[in-house]
Amino acid sequence: MPLHEKLESVYADVLSRNPGEVEFHQAVREVLESIGPALGKHPEYADARIISRLCEPERQIIFRVPWEDDAGGIHINRGFRVEFNSALGPFKGGLRFHPSVYLGTIKFLGFEQVFKNALTGLPIGGGKGGSDFDPKGRSDREIMRFCQSLMTELYRHIGEYTDVPAGDIGVGGREIGYLFGQYKRITNRYESGVLTGKGLLYGGAKVRTEATGYGSAFFVNEMLAARGESFEGRTVVVSGSGNVAIYAIEKVHQLGGKVVACSDSSGYIYDEKGIDVELLKEIKEVRRERIEAYAERVAHASYVPDRLVWEVPCEVAMPCATQNEITGKEALALVRNGCIAVGEGANMPCTPEGVQAFLDAGIAFGPGKAANAGGVATSALEMQQNASRDSWSFEYSEQRLEQIMKDIHARCSETAEEYGMPGNYVAGSNISAYTRVAEAMLSLGLI
């Protein structure tokens, strides 16, 4: 899609200033393609070079993370924290531990986080961090030593009023616990609000574990409702089998849908009777086994190695694994097989060609910055509870999450309608978030 004439130079500048960071380029391009109409309505944004400032992080931190394995071997990893934009509040975004992590990954995620956080309506800015450390196959003590080493540098850059990390791929409750313990040890402060995704015994919020997956299902449910549809009786396919995927499956089942397939990096499982969520939790969260273990325990389920889950026919697709997992080819296959709605539980899991295929087919498409904002929204609710030394019930927390997702859907839908693109949640989410951040940046002066 061609860019607005005032944005061509912005994108060219991003490419020249950030060579080789292809995921970041993709994320920026996707936003720039949407916000052209906003420049016509708000020329002051162009005059103040808001989007150029938005594309440049406020701060980029890269550091060495040395650690020792159980055999005494020394390892050196690289740690990152990109503090992208704090116009709406302290930087907020997760930490990702995965060997594919490099600066471009973190910048793409941080850029997306600015828009996602703005859509929640809560006072949080955007940032992201992580490391190229691979937690797979590592013992608890190795994970602890790595987390302690990472926090020994990271602690000086974060704080409940500055930057509040959380979990992401490879960083769950175990890792957050080790990170928070080291932060407390170094600073001598029980500053609960400095990290979110904590355990319930030391300041965590109920529903935080479920929030991204639940929120994605709530958002898709709203998209379906806007078309007079629902999850009831629908066949659903979810990619991934980590935290987001597991709880997306759980909530889809509660809303009346049936998830028949999910996956990991080795292949996918198909269960025509519907995925047994409790068994999936045991395999992935307790035993930490590969997805094929599910088929070994369920006689009527099958395991398909080295294939993509998107070949399974479905009416609703929810990519909840990683970036760029649905290309134009997979998108067209989903369309041919009768898919009517797609909700991104992961960050940018669809390539631009995939997104365009869904939009051209008139499918209800919920982009990640809107559909998976439930995780960071509940993190912000955790910050509220930490600040007031309070703890909310699961039911109340889930009600707050559901309402936030309904509000995000309404913002996206109403903005798309206002700019003459009804039903286009990509444009609606980008323009709504962009204008909110832009107004805050204008109010704060040239900073």
Looking at the structure, do residues 266 and 310 belong to the same domain, yes or no? yes
Looking at the structure, do residues 287 and 342 belong to the same domain, yes or no? yes
Dihedrals phi, psi of 230, to nearest 5 degrees: -160, 175
Looking at the structure, do residues 169 and 183 belong to the same domain, yes or no? yes
| Domain enclosing residue 323, as ranges | 211-362
| 403 domain-assigned | no
Looking at the structure, do residues 35 and 130 belong to the same domain, yes or no? no
Residue 201, Ramachandran bin (φ over 0: left; ψ between -120 and 50: alpha; else beta): alpha
Burial (CB < 10 A; 0-12, 13-18, 19+), residue 52, is middle
For residue 194, what is the DSSP state? G
Per-residue pLDDT of 193-227, as tens digits, reads 999 999 999 999 999 999 999 999 999 999 999 99
Identify which of 254, 239, 318, 241 has the alpha carbon closest to the alpha carbon of residue 283: 241
CB 424 within 8 A of CB 386: no
pTM value is: 0.93
Task: Classify the C-alpha dihedral 356-357-362-365 as positive or negative.
Answer: negative
CATH of the domain at 125: 3.40.50.10860
Looking at the structure, do residues 216 and 354 belong to the same domain, yes or no? yes
Q: Which of 130, 159, 191 corresponds to the end of one domain?
A: 191
Mean pLDDT of the region 352-379: 96
Looking at the structure, do residues 67 and 152 belong to the same domain, yes or no? yes
State the distance between the two ends of the chain, measured CA to CA, in whole angstroms: 31
Looking at the structure, do residues 262 and 183 belong to the same domain, yes or no? no
Per-residue pLDDT of 309-350, as tens digits, reads 999 999 999 999 988 999 999 999 999 999 999 999 998 999
Per-residue pLDDT of 408-446, as tens digits, reads 999 999 999 999 999 999 999 999 999 999 999 999 999
Looking at the structure, do residues 179 and 91 belong to the same domain, yes or no? yes
Buried/exposed code over 413-446 (b: 16+ C-beta within 10 A; e: otherwise): bebbeebebebbbbbbbbbbbbbbbbbbbbeeee
Looking at the structure, do residues 38 and 83 belong to the same domain, yes or no? no
| 200 domain-assigned | no
For residue 170, what is the DSSP state? T
Q: Which of 191, 226, 260 corresponds to the end of one domain?
A: 191
Q: Which of 124, 159, 191 corresponds to the end of one domain?
A: 191
Structure tokens given for 362: 């008139």
- Which residue reads 């050196």 in tokens? 76
Looking at the structure, do residues 73 and 140 belong to the same domain, yes or no? yes
Mean pLDDT of the region 183-192: 97
State how far the Cα of 129 lies from the Cα of 81, in Å rounded to an integer.
4
State how far the Cα of 157 lies from the Cα of 237, in Å rounded to an integer.
40
| 425 domain-assigned | no
2, pLDDT greater than 80: no
Q: Which amino acid is at 177?
A: G
| 65 domain-assigned | yes
CB 401 within 8 A of CB 207: yes
Instruction: Spot the catalytic one: 41, 107, 128, 136.
Output: 128
Listed in order, strand segments (DSSP E) in 307-427 are: 316-319, 341-343, 364-366
Whether 206 sits among the annotated catalytic residues: the reply is: no
DSSP string, 150-164: HHHHHGGG-BTTTEE
| 438 domain-assigned | no
If one counts the domains in the chain, the total is 3
State how far the Cα of 145 lies from the Cα of 16, in Å rounded to an integer.
38
* The pLDDT of residue 3: 87
* The pLDDT of residue 1: 67
Q: Collapse the DSSP code of 87 into the 3-class scheme (helix H, G, I; strand E, B; otherwise coil) and give the result.
A: coil
Per-residue pLDDT of 251-291, as tens digits, reads 999 999 999 999 999 999 999 999 999 999 999 989 889 99
State how far the Cα of 202 lies from the Cα of 196, in Å rounded to an integer.
11
| 415 domain-assigned | no
Identify which of 18, 80, 20 has the alpha carbon closest to the alpha carbon of residue 55: 18
Neighbour tally for 84: CB within 10 Å: 27
CB 386 within 8 A of CB 362: no
CATH of the domain at 338: 3.40.50.720
Identify which of 226, 203, 265 has the alpha carbon closest to the alpha carbon of residue 343: 226
CB 373 within 8 A of CB 407: no
**What are the CA-CA distances from residue 184 to residues 148, 164, 208 (Å)?**
11, 14, 21
- The H or E element containing residue 269 is strand 267-270
| 374 domain-assigned | no
Looking at the structure, do residues 236 and 281 belong to the same domain, yes or no? yes
| 187 domain-assigned | yes
Per-residue pLDDT of 77-123, as tens digits, reads 999 999 999 999 999 999 999 999 999 999 999 999 999 999 999 99
Looking at the structure, do residues 21 and 124 belong to the same domain, yes or no? no
